[in-house]
Amino acid sequence: MLRIGWFSTGRGEGSRGLLQFVQQQILGGRLDAQIEFVFSNRKRGEAEGSDEYFKLVEKFGLSLVTLSSQEFRRSRPGRFSDHRDEYDQQVMGLLSPFTPDVCVLAGYMLIVSGAMCRAYHLLNLHPALPTGPIGTWQEVIWELMESRSSHTGAMVHLATEDVDRGPVLSFCTVPITGGAFAPLWAELDQESLSELKATRGEELELFQRIRQAQFQREPYLLLETLRSVAKGQVILRGGHLTDGAGHPISTANSTGLCLDEDILKAMAADGLELSR
């Protein structure tokens, strides 16, 4: 059984949805795993979103560990980044009773220190292809629109000190042209992206449809990645990734496992169709 640690700030619906999705897959016997703990950098009462998140954790009977980064920041001079190592050392102390095989960063809004990256196999879900943009999902979508990209996707990679650029375990691809996308791209020929961004912002239909296409696949990408690790198809050891035969899966010429077919099968089993 794969032992999972779960890191999340727990800000909103997306974080709750991802935890609920994976835990329900575990309870349904579709993932041979156990979430050992859920860690949040907020404490009870700090925000409505995280309080709702904690209720979900309790509903599933999962171990909840918290350490307020906000309170920590207030108690130290200067920038939080100057004290990141100290904060993470305190977090790792709180988590010392647990022995996760992998940890998932699921809406965790802090950059983790090098020490924490070395202590755990931290899997980060990033809403872009391995060769795609870095940054938040909003920044990724705007850059995709700026470059008139035909595809986007999502990847799961090991968190390292090189933000969003650690070794890639897996990815999926998302076409964002043709079909229902075509008239939305055509709108960019009538008005500049900078003007649309200023007047419509994230309410722009193309922005919304790209996000929907990504968002639909992301939980299944994480699920199939965890399933690959649980089955020994991906082996994590000392920051290196290999397949079951010991061959590297993330090198200069290889960007992890493409899980498009696995995701299609898993979604079909749940009675879902991909939006196009």
* pLDDT tens figures, 165-197: 678 999 999 999 999 999 999 988 888 888 888
Write out the two tokens for 142: 């705007």
Quick one: what percent of the chain has pLDDT higher than 90? 67
Asked if 275 and 213 touch (Cβ cutoff 8 Å), the reply is yes
Supply the pLDDT for residue 163: 66
Higher pLDDT, 214 or 220: 220
Of 50 and 132, the structure prediction assigns the larger pLDDT to 50
Report the alpha-carbon distance of residue 162 to residue 95 in Å, rounded: 24
Residues 88-112, mean pLDDT to the nearest whole number: 95
Helix (H, G, I), strand (E, B) or coil at 125: strand
Which has the closest alpha carbon to 113: 138, 81, 142? 81
Using pLDDT thresholds of 50, 70 and 90, give the confidence band for residue 254: low
3-state SS, residue 18: helix
Query: CA 101, CA 91: separation in Å to the nearest integer?
Result: 17
Domains of the chain: 2-269 (3.40.50.170)
Q: Over the stretch 233-253, which tens digit does the pLDDT of each residue have?
A: 888 887 678 877 788 876 544
3-state SS assignment for residue 61: coil
Give me the pLDDT at residue 165, please: 66
Q: What is the mean predicted confidence (pLDDT) over 205-227?
A: 93
**Quick check: helix, strand or coil at residue 143?**
helix
* Residues 115, 134, 107, 272, Cα dihedral to 10°: -130
